[in-house]
Structure 1
Amino acid sequence: MSELPKYYLYKMRIIEMIADLPPGSLIPTERALALDFGTSRTTIRKAIGELVAEGRLTRTQGSGTYTGGPKITHVRQLTSFTEDAQAIGYTPSSEILEIEQLRVDGSHAVEAGHMGLAAGDPFVRVRRVRLGNGEPLGLETACIPGELPGFGEHLRERGSLYATLREDFGIRITEVEDGVETYLAGPEEARLLKVEMGSPLLRIDRTGYDDGGRVVEWTVGRFCGDRFRFVARTRAA
């Protein structure tokens, strides 16, 4: 008798079933799979849940379960989401939720701390849903210190935050520091990213610096954990 958990055996059978299917193919429902395999829906649900977490399958609320696409690899070395998506053939775009020109007050302690700002200092805050081939992949909140007149118009025109900073404001990010941790989707992420509550996300906190070591960007990104992997590359001194 196999020592492997029962759900794992069915997980392997599902992997075999979807091996030759193109990304985005609808698979049978949990009920149909349970009937076909002669097991319980609970067992199938656990098997599918693990495949979703691994990115082999994706769930769409009210629609069904589909075969997953290739993971977008984030090589986090001075590249933006736009550049990362284009590198693997995705068409990147964004749904802008909010662009605000703000001044630091008591409600901005976290932002001020990360960017080294004092009370009254100006900064821009941008909230966007990041899309790849029209599919929501991540939710980003970016903060940029300083007065940036017309920033919203420039960002909408260019699409890329880094290109906007570089081409329209002469701000070049030459060094970044990333913090990475796992994160579970809450109500906002579930609604905007069209995932289930509690789905695994990858949270990346990025601080960007210019040549003078000044903080010119602080961004918090929450990306669908089944669509991204984090890659770091270093060079020995």
Structure 2
Amino acid sequence: MSDQDLDRKDDSVPKHYEVRQWLRQHVEGLPPGTPVPSERSLSEQFNFSRTTVRQALHDLAVEGRIVRMQGRGTFVANPKVTQGLQLTSYTEDMLAQGMRPGTRLIDATVTEAEPDVAAQLALEAGSPVARIERVRFANGEPMAVETVYLDHGRFPDIVDKLTDDSSLYALLESEYGVIPTEGEETIETVLASPVAWRLLGTEATTPMLALTRATRDSEGRPIEYVRSLYRGDRFRLSTSITRPD
């Protein structure tokens, strides 16, 4: 059901919603960087308070449709990055879209596996695992925070081999002869922790897409367990679906 359908069913929608819907239609199809009408002009146009208009602008910024720059104004945002749900690396996904992938390595260390991590990697709780934390970029813009766990016994020196420029999947194949061939991925919406939204340069209220992935090789052996937070204002996920037999 669309927003317009909901509007027809409810005549008591909030004032800021009316402004938000008009702005959505106004910015649709405009080039990124196009200025958006100011709070003052929108307030005069709709005869609403600037507080009401500010709420509408905030909502569209959270949705990733506009960008508000202090001291400069409000502008149409870049299109969201669309990532397909398939067993490929982040680097491969960005390159396939003609974007420049980037990574900042936050931490790479060996630690003891918590019970949930150990279960995903078919290990005993407390077993040594490599824990890798990274921020992922697209064309220089931070997009996601990622934490990867791997069996330290199987990949004993991977924390020393991984760099900012490394593709983990490429490294697994070239150094260990391991290729992920199957896995499971779950997705849910969450709010980021203070650490995550500071790393991503977002507001505390920015919605996030939380992805968890567990991959295996062709023999069914666990390879990695990944927890990622993707910016909901800059990312959307896409997949193909078919009707079951």
In the superposition, the TM-score normalised over structure 2's length comes to 0.81
Partners of 1:61 and 1:111 in 2: how far apart? 42
Distance 1:9-1:179 versus aligned 2 partners, 3 A rule: same
Structure 2, unmatched stretches of 5+, are: 1-7
2:181 equivalent to 1:174 = yes
2:132 equivalent to 1:126 = yes
3-state SS of the aligned residue for 1:226?
A: coil
Partners of 1:34 and 1:73 in 2: how far apart? 34
3-state SS of the aligned residue for 2:196?
A: helix
Residue matched to 1:82 = 91
Structure 1 segment 77-226 matched on structure 2, within 5 A: 77-104=86-113, 108-119=114-125, 121-147=127-153, 148-152=155-159, 154-156=161-163, 158-226=165-233
Partners of 2:43 and 2:167 in 1: how far apart? 45
Instruction: Tell me the CA shift for residue 19 of structure 1.
Output: 4.1
Instruction: Tell me the CA shift for residue 133 of structure 1.
Output: 0.7
Partners of 1:114 and 1:208 in 2: how far apart? 9
Residue matched to 2:43 = 34
Distance 1:119-1:133 versus aligned 2 partners, 3 A rule: same
Partners of 2:175 and 2:69 in 1: how far apart? 38
Distance 1:61-1:93 versus aligned 2 partners, 3 A rule: farther
Query: C-alpha root-mean-square deviation of aligned residues, in Å?
Result: 2.8
Higher mean C-alpha deviation, range 33-42 or range 160-169: 33-42
Distance 1:119-1:24 versus aligned 2 partners, 3 A rule: same
User: What is the letter of the counterpart of residue 206 of structure 1?
Assistant: R
The alignment covers a number of residue pairs equal to 233
Instruction: Tell me the CA shift for residue 51 of structure 1.
Output: 1.9
Structure 1, unmatched stretches of 5+, are: none
Higher mean C-alpha deviation, range 7-16 or range 124-133: 7-16
Distance 1:65-1:143 versus aligned 2 partners, 3 A rule: farther
1:168-206: CA deviations, max 9, x gaps? 221110002001100112211221111111211000000
Partners of 2:149 and 2:108 in 1: how far apart? 10
Partners of 1:151 and 1:232 in 2: how far apart? 31
Q: Is the 8 A contact 2:162 2:168 kept in 1?
A: yes
Task: Give the % identical residues.
Answer: 37
